[in-house]
């Protein structure tokens, strides 16, 4: 049974792997035996060092998804892949009545269009060579809820959940399992402003049954599981990892 939780011999690409949740996912996959391509538009040197210290194998793969089509074209340079984790994302906060078209487009390009194009490229390549594969997209609590002052982020993350399901419908029977993980409130740079606001931070913690902010490693564990043979019969799922937030 233990072997069903291993990823030895698999090659995995993780976008946004330079910090936070993406860094933790890259490390988790490497600890399970995968060779990881740590992808980002900035240096992933810290991630590579963490993986090396853990005895894993990894390499850097520069990938700028601000231009989704150009970024997706780079996928071919990664070689044959068994696993794709679409983690890279950005956020813009402003009242919806004042939200600019430029901010809308920037978030949708990285958080949804790039996710589709990378999935499409991965799927095409895996199907062409008759290989099995795993895709895990990083969704959000805002794949289920509306949020406040983040219209493009909310729309994109709803889209990620829907995209995950349609690709699972089309590709699971061809050997490619497609799932998503929806993180709750995790202690990363994206949530620093919320954690630094004592009122808002307390409001958030009061709703989380676990009573704490999530750690990036909490997300990494769920993603790693979905990539292993232990999750062979899991596809089309959007797994919320939120300390119980959505249950309350």
Give the CA radius of gyration of the chain.
17
Burial class (CB in 10 A: 0-12, 13-18, 19+), 144: middle
8 A C-beta contact, residue 133 and residue 12: no
- Known active-site residue 185: no
Helix residue ranges, H only, 19-100: 20-31, 45-53, 68-73
Please give the Cα distance from 90 to 16 (Å, whole number): 10
190, two tokens? 């994206």
Closest to 135 in 3D by CA, of 99, 65, 174, 82: 82
Please give the Cα distance from 81 to 61 (Å, whole number): 13
Please give the Cα distance from 60 to 95 (Å, whole number): 37
**Catalytic pick among 122, 153, 213, 245:** 153
Active site residues: 153
């Amino acid at each position: 049974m233990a072997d069903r939780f291993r990823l030895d011999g698999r090659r995995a690409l993780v976008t946004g792997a330079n910090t936070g949740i993406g860094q933790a996912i890259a490390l988790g996959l490497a600890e399970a035996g995968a060779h990881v391509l740590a992808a980002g538009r900035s240096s992933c040197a810290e991630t590579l060092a963490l993986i090396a210290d853990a005895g894993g194998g990894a390499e850097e793969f520069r990938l700028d998804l601000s231009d989704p089509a150009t970024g997706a074209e780079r996928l071919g340079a990664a070689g044959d892949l068994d696993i794709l984790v679409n983690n890279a994302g950005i956020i813009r906060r402003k009242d919806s009545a004042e939200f600019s078209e430029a901010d809308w487009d920037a978030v949708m390009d990285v958080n949804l269009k790039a996710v589709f194009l990378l999935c499409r490229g991965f799927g095409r390549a895996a199907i062409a060579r008759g290989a099995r594969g795993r895709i895990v997209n990083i969704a959000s609590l805002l794949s289920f809820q509306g949020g406040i002052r983040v219209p493009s982020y909310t729309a994109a993350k709803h889209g990620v959940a829907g995209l995950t399901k349609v690709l699972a419908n089309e590709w699971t029977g061809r050997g490619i399992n497609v799932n998503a993980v929806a993180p709750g409130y995790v202690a990363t740079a994206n949530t620093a402003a919320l954690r630094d606001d004592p009122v808002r931070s307390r409001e958030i913690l009061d709703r989380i049954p676990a009573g704490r902010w999530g750690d990036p490693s909490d997300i990494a564990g769920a993603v790693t599981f979905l990539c292993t043979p232990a999750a062979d019969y899991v596809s089309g799922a959007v797994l919320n990892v939120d300390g119980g937030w959505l249950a309350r």
